[in-house]
Each structure stands twice: as C-alpha cells, then as structure tokens.
Structure 1
Amino acid sequence: MSSALASTSHNAPPQAARVMIVDDSVVVRGLTSRWLEEAGFVVAATCSNGKVAVDQVERARPDIIVLDIEMPEMDGLEALPLLLAKAPKATIIVISTLTQRNAQVSLKCLSMGATDYLPKPESHRGVTTSTTFRAELIAKVQGLAARHRRGPAAPAPGPTLRSAPAAAPSAPTYARAPVVGQIRPAPEAAQARMQTTRVVVRPRMGLVHPKALLVGASTGGPRAVGEMLAALAPSLKSVPVLIVQHMPPIFTAVFAEHLGAQTKMPAAEGRDGEKLEPGRIYVAPGGKHMGLRKDATGAVHVRIDDGPPENFCKPAVDVLFRDAAAVYGSSALSVVLTGMGSDGTIGAKALVGAGGLVYAQDEATSTVWGMPGSIAKAGLAHEILPLPALAPALKSIITGGAA
C-alpha cells in the first residue's frame, strides 16, 4: 500500500480546491497529480487503493476525490460509501475503462452518491498520450470546484421563476416580471447556496398538446434524469421521451437499461430510422448525434449521425433540439438539466422560435449550473424549477392540466 499527502501547491491560488487521487497505477497517479497541479489545484493526497484512501481522507480533507473503479485490496465501489461517510462534503468522480461491467459499476456508483464519471484509456500509454482524457479530467474538476465555491447542490426544492405546482407548494419563488426577474431573497439556507442572477423569463403563450418530451443533461444528469422521469413515468404513455445525456459509448446503453428499470418503461439507445412510439424512452448513443426526421406520411423517426462534435459534445443536445423544432414546432416540450457548458442553448433558441416550451433546472439543485444556467441567462427558459418540482410541472403540460 502507498499514499502521499500534500498540503500545498506552488501553482495553487488561495482557496484552491483540494483533490485526492485514488488509483492503483503509480503512472496514473503521477500524471494526474501533475496535470491538476499545473491547472492550479492542490493535490491533497494520492492513494494506491480504496483502503488507503479511506484511512487518509479525513487528514487530507479533499474537496474532490478522483476514484478509480478497479483496484486491489479495496476497489472503488467498496470504498465509495466509506469515503462519503468520512468526507460527506467531498465530491467524487469515478473513473474506469470502457467496458460493460465498468459502465454498470460506474452508474451504480452514481446512484450511491458519486457525482460524475470519466472513461479512462485502457493502457498507461493511452493515459500518457490521450489529450482528451487530460482535458476532460481538468474540465470536470474545474466545474465541480466551482460548485464547492458556491456550496453543494440542495436536495430540497430551491427557487423557481413561477410558483411550483400544487405537488410542491413549499418551494420558494422568484419575483416574476414580464421580462426580467430579480431573485427575491430566499430562505437563509438556500440563499447561502445560490448566486444572485438576473434572468430573462419568457411569458407562457400556451402550448399545443406536446407530442414529445426532450431532455438534455450532462454532469449530474444520470441521477437527475432518473429521478425526474421516475416521478413523471405514469404520465409519459402519450409521448416519446428523447434524451441526450453526455456519455461515452457503452455507458449510454447501460444508462438506458437503468432508466427502463427506474421508470418501468421501454428504454434503449435510439436506432437510426426507427419510428418514434409514445411511452418509450430513446437515449442518444454515446459518440453519435441523435436527431429527428419526418417522413412523407408525417411519422417521426430517429436520425443518428456521425457528424462532428458540437459544443465539444457528441452527442449534443443542440442537434436534437434543432431537429425537434423543425419536426414538432409548438408541440415540443423540452427540459435542460444539470450540466457543464452551454450545450442546448442554440437548440433551445430554435425551439422557442418554433413555439415550443423550454424548462430548466434551477441553480440550487443543479450539480453544475452550466447548461440550464446558459438557457436561463439567454432568456430562453419559460420556467426555472428545482428538480423535485420539474416532474409535477411537466406532468401538468403533458396531461393538459397546465395553466
């Protein structure tokens, strides 16, 4: 067993996030430590397996833990709950090679409290030479470090730009103006977690009965999507559900299986040319874009293509949203959940222009308020709601009970 503790980095600014690296490979530990220190983070500890990490975590006081799945003596799955018990405020990124088993284990880790995941090249040489792995690791740590600076996402309902439906009457509200809304002071605990942000609120003009529900998500998305759809599932028999979750190949197929188990609905990766059916969940396959097309009879089909990434993402939410705007127009109902970056904003503009409805998750309950925050700040959101309030709100639209 081996470990190394550190308390500072010459490149780290004051209040820099502290990162613990847990991996059985000395090569991976050395490379990732150097990368993160060069990016301005403090590498608080490096550990060769889960047991060492559990023993060291209280002393290291990490904000973020990068946790390998496959390790001797104690693997990542076994270590995860022990690390969370000793460091409940730490954010955990699980990393693994791209295998069916590791995808299953990684998604199980997310359900147990890990925040994000990262695919790792299979060989040490792959780790050494992969600029993608390095860039994604740094980007994820940067995004989650910002979350630590503003405080953890709240599990309870947060602010909304419109009074939540009756199912969530306790959710505090923003003041709503015809165009620009300023956040009304929230309860003290919630206010401490949020940044005051001016957002443009689109007036609700009334939506034709929706013909599809479109969902976009990234960091924190697997848990958020599953929670929302599980609560919404009884109301989804009348519409197909199309999901773009930023995930690599293999992971998206496993994610679809998990959603099927959570919702008791048929769920699978979308296949090029298949006709959309109500009451089914279609997940964009990792490494491919998923869009839509309409045939001469008016039937809508899945469109899978291997075009270049958009917003550095493949699959990209923008591709699905743009196609949905053209195919469904004012019959499109969409929601953007937690995630880094701005993917979905351009597509949301197309949806709004076609008369569709756009919902966004609020900042307090988002793991990272990048994608939904971009929607809100661009003035494209008709509603900004905490995660627990989204299912009741969407249900009221799908079932025709909206105001």
Structure 2
Amino acid sequence: MSIDLAAASHPVSTSGERIRIMVVDDSAIIRGIISRWIEAETDMVVAASCRTGLDAVNQIERINPDAVILDIEMPDMDGITALPLLLAKKRDLVVIMASTLTLRNAEISLKALSLGAADYIPKPESNHLGGADTFRHELVQKIRHLTARLVRRRVPSPPLAPSAAPSALAAHAAAPFAPAKFSLRPFHKTRPQALLIGSSTGGPQALTALAAGLAPVVDRVPVLITQHMPPAFTTILAQHIGRASSRPAQEGVEGQIVKPGNIYIAPGGLHMRVGRQGGNVAIALDDGPQINFCRPAVDPLFMSAIDVWRGDLLAVILTGMGSDGMRGGKDIVAAGGNVIAQDEATSVVWGMPGAAAQAGICSAVLPLNQIGQKIQKILSGDFS
C-alpha cells in the first residue's frame, strides 16, 4: 500500500479548524507539489496522500478528510471507480476531480460531477508545470469555497453568558447559518432578444439541469453561455447541454452568426463577445488577458451584448466563485434589461450569484429548479 500519513501533530479528528485534505494521485511529483501548496495555507493541512483510488477508499474512514483531490487515471483503481465508494463512506465529503486536458478526461470529469463530485480541476503535467501558479490559485480557492459549509458547521458557537435561559441556550445552539440579506428591484417590462447565462463552480451541473427546461426559450431567442472552463471541457459541456435541451449547442466560433434556436458556449481559454456584422449579430473570440481571474469571463459577454441588443436582455447568473458577471449585470440593468440569480441554498458556491444579489441588481433570486420556468414566463411577457 502506498500512502503517506500526515504528521502526528495533525490529529485525525475533524474538531480542529483547519481543512483536512487527502491527495490521491499516482504521480509522486504531483502529490508532492499539491501537498506543499496545501501545507503553505494556514487554514489547510494534508491529512494523507495516496497513490491509488484503492488506497484512498481503504483509508477514508480512518483519515476522515474534509476534501479529496482525486486523480482520474491511476493503477489498481481509477478515480471514477473510487468516487462513489468514497462518497458511500463519507456522504459530505468534498471531492475535486483532477485530470489532464484531454477530451476523454473532460468527459470523465463531467460524468464525475453527475456521480457526486463537487468540482473538477485540470492539472499540469508532472513533466511540464507551465501554468502551475494558475492551477495552485484555482485549487486552493476551490478547496476553501467548497468546504466552507463544512467548516461553518463544525466551528463551535461562542458561549452565552451564564445568565442565559435554557430556552435561549437551546435556540443559540440550534441557530442555522443565516442567509445573506439582499433587496430585489422591479423587472423592466421589456421582452428579451437574447438570454445570457454566466456560471463557474457547480455550473456544469446547474447548466445541464437548467437546459432541460430551456427548449421553448431557445426556439425564441439565442442563448449564449459563459462557463469558467478550460479547453476540451467546453467541447464536452456543449454536447451535454445539447442533449439535455434537445437543441443545437456548440462552442462559439469566430464570425459565427447568432440566431434563435441555438445555444452558444464560450470556448475554454477564450473570451466570447457579440457584435454587429452588417445586419447580423456575430460572435467574436479573443485570448486577451484574464478578466476577473478568468478566461472565458462572463462580463465581456454581458457588456458586449448591450451594444447589440441595448436593454432587451435577460441575464442569469448561476453558481460560482468570485463576482464575475456582477459588473456586466449592473450595466445590463442600467440599459433596461433584467438579471436573475440562483439562490444560495441550491448553489454549490454562492459567490457570483451572491455578488449580483447583494449589489441590488437582481429582479429575482430563485432556486435552480424555478429559474427555467421564470425565464419562460418572461419570454412570454409575464413579469409577475
């Protein structure tokens, strides 16, 4: 068995405040690099590193980590086989799939999301660590955000004063995490000429679920989506959304004419915008600097759409880290359009939709399963 346990100074109990991570990868180089990055964070600790999925499954109950970084391709037991076994032993385990940038691994990673993985991350090759800084930043941020609810649950509440009544003590102990407060603005009563969607962490699952109810919408207006994703992954995502919606879905292509009846996804690694091309609307792609630490980013799509359709827009901001889409959403509202955000309870990470809600630009903040119906109502002219 190839497993390196954490130092004895880090107890197996999860009563501490640090996030406990298990690193599972058959490359000793990758395990070492990821472990060093994690140990450099003051709120994280490597509980164990394993060479195979089988090692991880055999050790998961004893190590009791909060999160697992799980490689896809490993000997003895690969990541996709280990995933359901790990989740069966620890239901609230946060699993982040790590894979190289290939179409096959992109397909496996998206399948893993449907099996209960929280997210995925494309890892640098062990013999070519270009882009390692970006990978490190993304990995650390995903661990921190995806385990936030676990950490909140186990951090003890501060004690009440001795004079507190028993009933108050009980209420204090049972008090749930308070959702963020925000205010909604009235809908602008203009029918959209295009539907724009932005998403990040948790987005592939949310987009696939939403797409199933979007078929009538797609027939009326073009749907343009920016999901924070690397190359290859967006190719597979487009296929999944196409199957779920039963409508043509594809990565956007430079100069492509935008038409109702179609879904366009920003290609991984490229910003996607829209612009006028004669009497038509066409897609424009570029590999310029990251915006909001992302490429593709949501804001370029949102802002460019205003130049084309003015305020006749409906923007939807789904689950994701950060605040991408908030600035563009603010401009859409100022132009006379509307913004809907996914609610906190159904978001994997309430960063992007939360930023939009707390900025006061949303006319609705809804559970994922209600967003599709609301979009259909708005496209029919019903703003109630």
TM-score, structure 2 length as denominator? Answer: 0.89
Which residue of 2 is the match for residue 196 of structure 1?
179
Letter in 2 for 1:5: L
> 2: CA distance between counterparts of 1:380 and 1:402?
16
Of 369, 378, 384, which aligns to 1:397?
378
Give deviations 1:263-315, integer Å, cap 9, x for gaps. 11111100111111112110000111001102332x21111122211111100
Task: Give the partner amino acid of 1:340.
Answer: M
* Preserved CA contact (<8 Å) 1:273 1:302: yes
Partner of 2:80: 77
Letter in 2 for 1:19: I
SS at structure 2 position matched to 1:333: strand
- For 1:245 and 1:289, the matched residues in 2 are separated by 10
Q: Which amino acid aligns with 1:397?
A: I
**CA distance in 2 between partners of 1:256 and 1:3 (Å):** 38
Per the alignment, residue 271 of structure 1 pairs with 253
Alignment partner for residue 32 of structure 2, among 12, 30, 33? 30
- Unmatched segments (≥5 aa) in structure 2: 155-170
**Partner residue, 2:126:** 123
| Residue equivalent to 2:313 | 332
CA distance in 1, matches of 2:79, 2:236: 19
The secondary structure found in structure 2 opposite 1:74 is: coil
Worse-superposed segment, 13-22 or 97-106? 13-22
- The match for 2:41 among 14, 39, 42 is 39
Is the Cα–Cα contact under 8 Å of residues 225 and 263 in structure 2 kept in the other structure? yes
1:248 and 1:350 map into 2 onto residues whose CA distance is 27
Deviations 1:145-196 (A, max 9, x none): 22323469xxxxxxxxxxxxxxxxxxxxxxxxxxxxxxxxxxx9xx966433
Instruction: Note if contact 2:254-2:285 (Cα within 8 Å) is conserved in structure 1.
Output: yes
Q: 1:101 aligns with which of 88, 99, 104?
A: 104
Distance 1:346 1:322, change over 3 A: same
In structure 1, stretches of 5+ residues that fail to align are: 153-187
Measured after TM superposition, the shift of residue 57 of structure 1 is 0.8
Kept in 2: contact 1:194–1:364 (CA 8 A):
no
SS at match of 1:231: coil
1:249 CA displacement: 0.8
Q: Distance in 2 between matches of 1:150 and 1:268?
A: 39
**2: distance between equivalents of 1:135 and 1:329?**
36
Superposition pairs for residues 232-247 of structure 1, below 5 Å?
A: 232-247=214-229
Query: Is contact 2:25-2:50 (8 Å) kept?
Result: yes
Identical aligned residues as a percent: 50
Counterparts of 2:101 and 2:38, CA distance in 1:
23
Do 1:115 and 1:220's aligned partners in 2 also have CA atoms closer than 8 Å?
A: yes
Alpha-carbon shift at residue 125 of structure 1 (Å): 4.5
SS at match of 2:150: helix
Residues 1:351 and 1:194: Cα distance change in structure 2 (over 3 Å): farther
Which amino acid counterpart does residue 45 of structure 2 have in structure 1? Answer: V
* 2:199 equivalent among 206, 211, 217: 217
> Is the CA contact (8 Å cut-off) linking 1:275 and 1:302 kept in structure 2?
yes
- Deviation string 1:70-93 (CA, Å, 9 cap, x unpaired) is 100100011111111111101110
The AA in structure 2 aligned to 1:53 is A
The number of residue pairs the alignment matches comes to 362
Quote the offset at 1:236 in angstroms. Answer: 2.3
> SS state of the match for residue 212, structure 2?
helix
1:286-297 correspondence runs (5 A)? 286-297=268-279
Q: Which amino acid is the alignment partner of residue 346 of structure 1?
A: R
Query: When the two structures are superposed, what TM-score results if normalisation uses the length of structure 1?
Result: 0.85
Distance in 2 of aligned mates of 1:102 and 1:138: 21
Is structure 2 residue 351 aligned with structure 1 residue 370?
A: yes
**How far did residue 356 of structure 1 move?**
0.7
| Whole-angstrom CA distance in 2 between matches of 1:212 and 1:219 | 24
My pick for the range that moved more, 192-201 or 284-293, is 192-201
Name the structure 2 match of 1:15. Answer: 17
Cα distance in structure 2, aligned partners of 1:13 and 1:351: 45
* 1:254 aligned to which of 236, 240, 245: 236
CA deviation profile, 1:38-88 (whole Å, cap 9, x unmatched): 112121221111111111111111111100001001000111111111111
- Computing the radius of gyration from Cα coordinates, the structure with the larger value is 2
The code of the aligned residue for 1:262 comes to: A
